[in-house]
Amino acid sequence: NIQFFGVESQKKVTESFVVVVGLGGVGSHAASMLLRSGVGRLLLVDFDQVSLSSLNRHAVATREDVGTPKAYCLKKHFSLIYPECQIEARVQLYDSSAEDEILSGQPDFVLDCIDNIDTKVSLLAACVRRGLRVLSAMGAGARADPTRIRVADLRESSNDPLSRAVRYRLKKDHGIEGGIPVVFSMEKPKAKLLPFQGSKEEETPSDYQIVPGFRVRIIPVLGTIPAIFGQVMASYVVTQLAQLDFQTEPIVNLDLDHYRVLHHRLLEHEELIYGSAKQVLVDAEEVMYIVKELWRGRSARDQNMKDTGRKMWRSVNELMLVRWDKSKSAGVSNLILLKFSEADAHESTTLDQIKDEEPEFHAMVSRVLKRAETEFAL
């Protein structure tokens, strides 16, 4: 890690305090890699016990651990890996009454690995209210495709029933519409909840409830997927703690035809405004980079991620690429994505006017276009 981050950045990781709530298939792997990455203080929270079925996805549990609390199981194994880490294990269900106890002490990051909607929403709302950085895991069960796992804002997660329910509840109950990074799969669930089947005739679902109201039906889980979720969460958090800057892949649901339309629209606009398209130095593939990577499929003046999925397909019909600096060619580091009306207004103003009247917007665009210069070695 020191070779990767450098001494000072790794020191930030070592001095960090991270809370992990939910220590099943996702949380155990996340916590394990946070430990192995040198995080100096961990608070591990889960009310549940290791079960025999946990063993297909848990990071460290063995047959001997079956029946023991997950929090104590992790602490036991972690102390053999990195004894210098300050580890607190709590066998506790997170709810609003536990907020002060679990979220006090100014943690540098909170990982939400809970699979119950009520407690998940309560934890996320508390983190937002307290200004704590939080990363949330959405549904990992019933999936099989590791290439479809993404990190994005909660507003951008798609094909995930848990994300949909959490979004609805956060907005309805707490007025929170986004701003929370989540790990989710873009894959549609491959299987449905299985009905309860007791080992004895007289058993009922309630016999298996550790906490009243929690589901006892089974979500089929391919053990590798929650493990990958946990690894992704740990990697995201550790790089954030080390202040390693990187851009997550944007969730832009456009196909090549959309980028060709935008490229053709750019050529037409150049001919109309400048009398020729000779100064267009990009093709459809580079348009894809500009639209997806730089502007995330949205107008440079509207980066709030309100249009996702099919709405994004419709919004592309209102967008076009135009030169930022009219004195320079239409290359990858000089094109911004705007709505038609915004493009008209942009063509009738100057960069000096924008800098004077909208300094924050000017600085943001300059920063984004500078990234293109760096990545294309211009």
Give the model confidence (pLDDT) of 152-200 as tens digits.
Answer: 888 888 777 888 889 889 999 999 988 999 999 988 777 665 555 555 5
Pairing between β-strand 41-45 and β-strand 17-21 as defined by DSSP bridges: parallel
**Tokens 């990234």 appear where?**
371
What is the distance between the alpha carbons of residues 133 and 119, in angstroms, rounded to a whole number?
Answer: 17
**Residue 225: what pLDDT?**
93
Three-state secondary-structure class, residue 338:
strand
Three-state secondary structure call for residue 204 = coil
DSSP three-state, residue 360 = helix
Low-confidence ranges of the chain (pLDDT < 70): 191-218, 250, 252-253, 303-315, 378
Question: Distance between CA 25 and CA 225 in Å, rounded?
Answer: 9
Residue 220: predicted pLDDT = 81
Q: Would the pTM count as exceeding 0.85?
A: no
Q: Which helix (H) or strand (E) holds 12?
A: helix 7-14
154 in Cβ contact with 136 (< 8 Å): yes
The pair of structure tokens assigned to 8 is 């000072």
Q: What is the pLDDT of residue 32?
A: 98
CA nearest 48: which of 16, 79, 80, 26? 26
Both tokens of 112, joined, read 């939400």
Contact 115, 22 (CB under 8 A): yes
CA distances from 218 to 134, 190, 192, 193, 208 (A): 27, 14, 9, 6, 12
Structural domains present in the chain: 2-242 (3.40.50.720), 256-377 (no CATH)
pLDDT of residue 155: 84
What's the pLDDT score for residue 214? 46
Whole-number pLDDT of residue 230: 97
